[in-house]
């Protein structure tokens, strides 16, 4: 299945002297990443180690193994646009037949090791769209060096071609144009309100101080390791703001109260941490649904960014030429793991390293 998508990508190298098919190299690279590879040298070593198996499966009949520089050059010369198109089509297939796929979290991430001081080039930034219900990455959008996430997110809302979804954003995207763009594409937005919209934040605080909420939900207390958490969601329908014309797409205002008790192993005491945050929404949900949607938004940090940085060592990567290509190959691997309900990614990569056939049995690979 994966191979059929990758072989649709056009190979822009000239045919003369082309020894290795682009589709094969991309496919083997994703398998290598699923086995813990985080560099071109390790991808080459993976191909060399498993060549007999790969040759039987794909009838390669290569006269010699590609050097790591060859692997590097093939991957770096891949069209980012065509690879992204392939990724979105593949991800859409993986996320099919899941009725819970309603919320999409959007957040940007910096590839911290991709900077190049010699060429006066800053680290690459990528905005990702993450399907909360299935933990599948749907798409990426490169953030231009002379702009930021805001216009990139607005563009992504348009080009994704989706409708009927609820996009969740952090406070950076609390912008009038972002909300209107979502409505124009027949989607909705839940976004946090912070100090970058001072008047809106002051209005939000005043509304909940002077009026009773329309709906309230108290989340059950949860104990995780050394932390006890509880959340309370309050919803105010059809709020009126000072800049009423600017925020006329807002249908609900949400207040989230978080209480955390964290056990300090040094002092052997519990320390309290209370936090209040506000959100606006262009659609109306129950307090329980809002609470869950807002909590799920941070899944993009825990189940995507954290895995990339800690397990796949993305932040430590010093790939500086087209680093977004390798980042997208990691996304292919992560989506395959999530489709197969892998909980412990680090342990699963180690398992794949020891057992080549394990990853070939994944749904979405064969």
| Residue pair 206/193 in contact by the 8 Å Cβ criterion | no
Is residue 135 packed enough to be buried (19+ CB in 10 Å), middle (13-18) or exposed (0-12)?
buried
Which of 320, 357, 314 is closest to 76 using CA atoms? 320
Q: What is the DSSP letter of 173?
A: G
| Residue pair 132/95 in contact by the 8 Å Cβ criterion | no
What is the spatial distance between Cα 151 and Cα 178, in angstroms, rounded to a whole number?
8
pLDDT tens column, 130-179: 998 788 999 999 887 767 889 999 999 999 988 999 999 999 999 999 99
pLDDT at position 235, please?
96
| Residue pair 149/170 in contact by the 8 Å Cβ criterion | no
What is the spatial distance between Cα 98 and Cα 136, in angstroms, rounded to a whole number?
11
Long-range contacts of 342-345 (CB under 8 A, 24+ apart): 345/307, 345/311
Domain positions in the chain: 2-78+322-360, 82-306
| Contacts (Cβ under 8 Å, ≥6 apart) of 146 | none
pTM for the complete prediction? Answer: 0.90
Question: pLDDT at residue 86 above 60?
Answer: yes
pLDDT at position 333, please?
95
What is the spatial distance between Cα 23 and Cα 2, in angstroms, rounded to a whole number?
10
pLDDT at position 100, please?
58
Q: Which CATH class is domain 82-306?
A: alpha beta
CB atoms within 10 A of CB 21: 15
- Tell me the DSSP string of 262-316: EEETTTTEEEEEEEEEEEEESS---HHHHHHHHHHHTHHIIIIIHIIIIIS--TT
**pLDDT band (50, 70, 90) for residue 234:** very high
356 to 35, 53, 54, 350, 361: CA distances (angstroms):
8, 9, 10, 11, 10
**pLDDT band (50, 70, 90) for residue 51:** very high
For the residues 30-59, what does the mean pLDDT come to?
92
């Amino acid at each position: 299945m994966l191979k059929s998508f990758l072989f649709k990508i056009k190979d822009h190298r000239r045919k003369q002297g082309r020894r290795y098919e682009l589709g094969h190299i991309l496919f083997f690279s994703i398998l290598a990443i699923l086995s813990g590879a985080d560099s071109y040298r390790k991808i080459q070593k993976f191909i060399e180690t498993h060549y007999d198996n790969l040759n039987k499966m794909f009838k390669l009949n290569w006269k010699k193994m590609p050097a790591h520089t060859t692997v590097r050059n093939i991957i770096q010369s891949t069209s980012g646009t065509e690879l992204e198109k392939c990724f979105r089509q593949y991800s859409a297939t993986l996320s099919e037949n899941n009725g819970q796929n309603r919320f999409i979290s959007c957040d940007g991430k910096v590839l911290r090791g991709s900077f190049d001081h010699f060429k006066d080039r800053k680290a690459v930034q990528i905005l990702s769209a993450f399907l909360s219900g299935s933990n599948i990455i749907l798409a990426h959008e490169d953030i231009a060096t002379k702009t930021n996430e805001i216009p990139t997110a607005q563009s992504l809302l348009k080009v994704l071609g989706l409708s009927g979804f609820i996009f969740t954003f952090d406070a950076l995207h609390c912008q009038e144009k972002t909300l209107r763009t979502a409505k124009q594409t027949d989607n909705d937005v839940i976004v946090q309100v912070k100090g970058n919209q001072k008047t809106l934040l002051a209005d939000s605080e005043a509304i909940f101080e002077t009026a009773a909420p329309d709906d309230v939900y108290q989340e059950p207390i949860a104990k995780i390791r050394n932390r006890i958490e509880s959340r309370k969601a309050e919803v105010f329908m059809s709020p009126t703001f000072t800049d009423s014309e600017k925020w006329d797409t807002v249908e609900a205002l949400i207040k989230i109260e978080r209480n955390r008790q964290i056990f300090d192993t040094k002092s052997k005491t519990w320390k309290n941490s209370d936090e209040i945050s506000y959100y606006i929404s262009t659609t109306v949900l129950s307090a329980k649904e809002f609470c869950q949607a807002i909590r799920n938004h941070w899944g993009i940090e825990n189940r995507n960014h954290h895995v990339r940085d800690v397990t796949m060592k993305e932040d430590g990567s010093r790939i500086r030429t087209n680093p977004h290509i390798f980042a997208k190959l990691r996304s292919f691997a992560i989506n395959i793991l999530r489709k197969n309900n892998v909980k412990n990614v680090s342990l699963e990569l180690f398992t794949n390293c020891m057992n080549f056939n394990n990853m070939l049995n994944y749904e979405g690979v064969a």
